[in-house]
Structure 1
Amino acid sequence: MSSPFTAADPAPRPGPGPEPDPAGPQPSRGRVVGIGEALIRLTTPGHLRLEQAGTLEVSVGGAELNALIALAQLGYSTEFVTRLPDNPLGRRVAEHARRFGVGVSAAWETDGRQGLYFVEPGAQPRATEVLYDRAGSAACGLAPGQVDWAATLADARALHSTGITCALGQGPEDALAEAFSHAREAGVTTSFDLNHRSRLWSPDRAAAAFRRMAPLADVIFASAHDLALVLGRTGEPDRLAQEFRALAGGPVVVLRDSTRPAPDRVRVQVTVVADTAVTGAPAEAEVVDAFGAGDVAAAAYLAAALAGTDAAMAAGVAARACAHMHTVPGDGWVLRAGELDPDYGDGRRILR
């Protein structure tokens, strides 16, 4: 069975910009807006630790931007609402977004700073580690009243963000609540990935923010760990999701489950929990870089759901997209037409 959608033809590619389409611009499947923070990512080469590294690989990441990049790959028009410092690092973030076809609606701060995060790739039994340096960044200045949401959401089909934005501080959390409230009033689908980051804030603060945001969301993306954090107990993921739905007023909950059948492989399965729970076909991949995979899964599910795809197929596509992202270095997803089809490549390691 083929995917219910394919990459935009041609897919935006890293480099100076997307290659021109000889057939002319392709119609958009709709417009999706995201709000949050993008970061400069600094990765140690190989498996060096920060104490050892003499060089760092520079790229751009951030959950909301990663999801918008994925949606752009899948043919949606996208716009990223954020705050950036008016300096080379802020411009690097904006250029990265635009390179992948994502529009940028940024408030530029003259004296602002750009959030950073450092990545030390691990090797079993040593885990990959992330060190954040984002306190006081320009995006921490997000606050209510800064964005004309009626204009920004005009013709939008969905508004997406994550719990990471709430973790930046009370101002960003309030801004996100304002944005979601406007979207709900305008009939725009609201999409929220809990995406708990334990190194950014305490469990109590995270749970409180998630409980506040959940009733404003039509679609919630979560892991079983995220749900247990909010509910204060562990249990079967499907039951946790139903209990969370009751607490939040009935949003669709999309559960991601990633396991490692081998140290260098990942198995992804996605379950959509509404009145009933529907699990899609699993997908496996060789792991090159796990960053951004959950963001891509959320984007792929949202793209499929907006296209009217049934829950089982949408869950399967989300799992395949998530697995595929594990094979792509960096946070920005690069997808080529046909690569999400289950029979792509007929199992061959080299296509030639």
Structure 2
Amino acid sequence: MKKVFCFGELLMRLSPASNGKWIDTATMPVYIGGAELNVANALAKWNIPVKYFTALPDNFLSREIVEDLTNKNIDCSAIHYSGNRIGTYYLTQGADLKNAALVYDRAGSSFADLKQGMINWDSILDDCHWFHFSAICPALNNNIAALCKEALEVASAKGLTISVDLNYRSKLWQYGKQPTEIMPALVNHADLIMGNIWSAESLLGIETALQETKGATRSELINAAERSMAALHQRFPQANTLAYTFRMDSSYWAIMQQEQEQYISKEFALADVIDKAGSGDCFMAGLIYGMLNSKEPAQMINYAAAAAVGKLYERGDATHQSIEDVNKRVLGTI
């Protein structure tokens, strides 16, 4: 059976307790993640065949990680072993990925040191029918942006469906290129584009009049999303599915455009969120899951939004939700 191919850097997340408590206790949880791996984890959990590509050093830590991923039914045969270190990042418990508490330590990692010509994409993608990537990888350096483009060109030539998550990380775009110089050429390959009105502006130059959700009504947010999606579709007409999320202070919902029709998810109440990392990745996985299972658009967007909300109540980067868990949240019974 053909697989969903997820391309991206595996990261170790070190998660210190707030206010320096980790110093006194001399403990800091470590989670294995990375945006694309989080998608792979969710899909594997939901019985979708998945293949993961990253680069890791050939050492005992990598072998333990790969064994764990393999036990979760993730095909790790495409992982490239080279270099000397696994990328890491630090995120204070409970903080947002856009928070000042986020610290990256990814320079010189095995993945960051990859270059064009090192990977036989035609062979690796031969048993795949879907290619997923995010805007995080091209933010690392010129070589990774070029590598991503190289992989996408092969995936397109082989007729794979392509999805992209427009996750914008300002702290990563530090190598002399603006996102709008890099991302449009990559997004040109995408059939499914997911993000929000602000990431579309930061990464693709799709302007929005709204600078934040605070003070905006639901109808104003919907209108802003529709305007942004119209401009996005005009610029990238090959993308037949667009989806934006809105994570508010007390609720979460999403809007999707498919074949020029709009679908808005249920609005899910939020309270006492545990961990904000990986929620968007879970939403992305929900969309892919819905499309591969030929779900109706309304079902798709509700499943994806419910999966994202469920992830907010789990520790770590990857979700442990079953299909039944997500469906119960859609129905309001969890």
Give the TM-score band, short-chain normalised. Answer: 0.7 to 0.9
Q: Summarize the alignment of residues 3-14 of structure 1 with structure 2, pairs less than 5 Å apart.
A: none
CA 153–289 in structure 1, closer or farther in 2 if over 3 Å, else same: same
- Aligned CA RMSD, in angstroms, stands at 2.5
What residue number does 1:25 align with? none
Aligned residues: 314
Deviation at 1:156, TM superposition (A): 1.6
Deviation at 1:122, TM superposition (A): 4.8
| 1:260 matched to 2:249 | yes
Asked whether the 8 Å contact 2:255–2:262 carries over to 1, the reply is no
What residue number does 1:59 align with? 31
What residue number does 1:211 align with? 184
Task: Report the Cα distance in structure 2 between the residues aligned to 1:48 and 1:96, rounded to whole angstroms.
Answer: 31
Q: Give CA-to-partner distance per residue, 1:104-148, whole Å, 9 cap, x none.
A: 122212x51111101112579x95721100011110122222222
> Which residue identity is paired with 2:265?
G
Q: Summarize the alignment of residues 1-352 of structure 1 with structure 2, pairs less than 5 Å apart.
A: 30-45=2-17, 48=20, 54-104=26-76, 105-109=78-82, 111-122=83-94, 129-201=101-173, 205-229=178-202, 230-231=204-205, 233-235=207-209, 236-251=224-239, 252-261=241-250, 266-286=251-271, 287-342=273-328, 347=333
> Which residue identity is paired with 1:149?
W
Asked whether the 8 Å contact 1:60–1:96 carries over to 2, the reply is no
Task: Report the Cα distance in structure 1 between the residues aligned to 2:182 and 2:95, rounded to whole angstroms.
Answer: 33
Task: Report the Cα distance in structure 1 between the residues aligned to 2:323 and 2:259, rounded to whole angstroms.
Answer: 31
Task: Report the Cα distance in structure 2 between the residues aligned to 1:95 and 1:129, rounded to whole angstroms.
Answer: 31
Deviation at 1:198, TM superposition (A): 1.0
Asked whether the 8 Å contact 2:161–2:191 carries over to 1, the reply is yes
Deviation at 1:255, TM superposition (A): 1.0
Asked whether the 8 Å contact 1:338–1:344 carries over to 2, the reply is no
Deviation at 1:206, TM superposition (A): 1.6
Deviation at 1:191, TM superposition (A): 0.7
CA 56–307 in structure 1, closer or farther in 2 if over 3 Å, else same: same
The share of aligned pairs that are identical, in percent, is 24
> Which residue identity is paired with 2:60?
P
Task: Report the Cα distance in structure 1 between the residues aligned to 2:32 and 2:329, rounded to whole angstroms.
Answer: 31
What TM-score do the two structures reach when normalised by structure 2? 0.85
Deviation at 1:80, TM superposition (A): 0.8
Point out the more displaced range, 276-285 or 319-328.
Answer: 276-285
> Which residue identity is paired with 1:254?
A
What TM-score do the two structures reach when normalised by structure 1? 0.81
CA 100–270 in structure 1, closer or farther in 2 if over 3 Å, else same: farther
Structure 1 SS opposite 2:243: strand
- Which is helix-richer, 1 or 2? 2
Task: Report the Cα distance in structure 2 between the residues aligned to 1:215 and 1:324, rounded to whole angstroms.
Answer: 31
Structure 1 residue ranges without an equivalent (≥5): 1-27
Structure 2 SS opposite 1:154: helix
Structure 2 residue ranges without an equivalent (≥5): 210-223
Structure 1 SS opposite 2:253: strand
